[in-house]
Structure 1
Amino acid sequence: MTNDKPASPPALTLPPPRPVPARFLRDYLRTTEVAELLGLSPRTLEKYRCVGEGPAFLKLGQRVLYARSDVEAWLQAHRCAHTSDGTYTAVIDARRAWRREP
């Protein structure tokens, strides 16, 4: 007797989560680390510091540090439910104005 049932598709499995590098678990992060975490360039974070758009930061001599809690708070403040959300449109308007400045 043959089995006339169609074969079930193979089960989809997700790869195991990658371990978080230890440098991202510290309380204070450097510009390059925050940039990597956010998917931005370090230069973009520098611009954000100049215009007051990015996460709060600490300046210790030449070194700039970001408190992990400040980065997370900044991310939460920029959450949007949809593209007509006021936060989203404010960010887009600010970027447009930024690019127009000489």
Structure 2
Amino acid sequence: MAVALRYEPDSEYAPKVVAGGRGSVAEQILEIAFANGIKVREDQDLAEVLSSIDIDSEIPVEAFAAVAEILIYVYRANGGELKAPEMESTEMENPETENQDPEPGDPAS
């Protein structure tokens, strides 16, 4: 059994099942992957779950953690460097002091 996934990191969508099969179909999926330098990871339990998903459908929420581990493995195997997403920093405002008149003797008065 073999299942092929497609994931576009810049997309807001979950990975999709793009191919799946058993026997000779599984062999063809693996041959295509190897011929194109695509990393393959064996996980029979996950393949069973994903093989029940319709082609071109997103993976189920229950498979997110396992698929994320595989994507990290593949990304690192391809020489990728994982970075935390950049977060925009904003100054926090204190609503209690905002728009209040300064007290006498405060530098702002």
Which is bigger in relative contact order (C-alpha 8 A, separation at least 6)? 2
- What TM-score, normalized by structure 2, do the two folds share? 0.29
- What TM-score, normalized by structure 1, do the two folds share? 0.30
Higher CA-based Rg:
2
Question: Which structure is higher in helix share?
Answer: 1
